[in-house]
């Protein structure tokens, strides 16, 4: 099992460009989520999904879109990148809701110039 796989690992964007961060898991987990990690602010939830076809907003959703067409994949889209979106992005998956272990990907370091 590969666990949670994120691509790319590094990305530099110009302001206004769009891109998609990919996330895939092979553990058949229902729940997937995206976090951003900024210095001194810990991990903040962007969007999450409790199953295929269902998504919802987290703490900091503005500027990001998600979709969940399959159980395995949960891409994060930046429609018009801004410097404030410079961050490290982590995808995570869980077997179910509430109190179960979250498995994280290796992260994507995004810089918007």
Partner 1 sequence: GENVEQHPSTLSVQEGDSAVIKCTYSDSASNYFPWYKQELGKGPQLIIDIRSNVGEKKDQRIAVTLNKTAKHFSLHITETQPEDSAVYFCAASNTGANNLFFGTGTRLTVIP
Residues of this chain that bind partner 1 (CB under 8 A): 4, 31, 33, 35, 40-45, 48, 50, 56, 58-59, 90, 92, 97-99, 101-102, 104-107
Contact predicate 38/46, CB 8 Å: no
Which of residues 44 and 77 has its CB atom nearest to partner 1 in the complex? 44
Does residue 30 sit in helix, strand or coil? coil
Which of residues 92 and 110 has its CB atom nearest to partner 1 in the complex? 92
Q: Smallest distance from the beta carbon of 81 to partner 1, in angstroms?
A: 22
Q: Smallest distance from the beta carbon of 57 to partner 1, in angstroms?
A: 11
Which of residues 4 and 13 has its CB atom nearest to partner 1 in the complex? 4
Q: How far apart are CA 33 and CA 54, in angstroms?
A: 12
Q: How far apart are CA 70 and CA 79, in angstroms?
A: 21
């Amino acid at each position: 099992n590969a666990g949670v796989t994120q691509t790319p690992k590094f990305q530099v964007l110009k302001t206004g460009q769009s891109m998609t961060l990919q996330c895939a898991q092979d553990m058949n987990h229902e729940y997937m989520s995206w976090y951003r990690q900024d210095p001194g602010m810990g991990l903040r939830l962007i969007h999450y999904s409790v199953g295929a076809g269902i998504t919802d907003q987290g703490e900091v959703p503005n500027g990001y879109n998600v979709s969940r067409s399959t159980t395995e994949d949960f891409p994060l889209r930046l429609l018009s990148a801004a410097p404030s979106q410079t961050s490290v992005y982590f995808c995570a998956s869980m077997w179910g809701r509430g109190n179960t272990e979250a498995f994280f990907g290796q992260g994507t370091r995004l810089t918007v110039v």
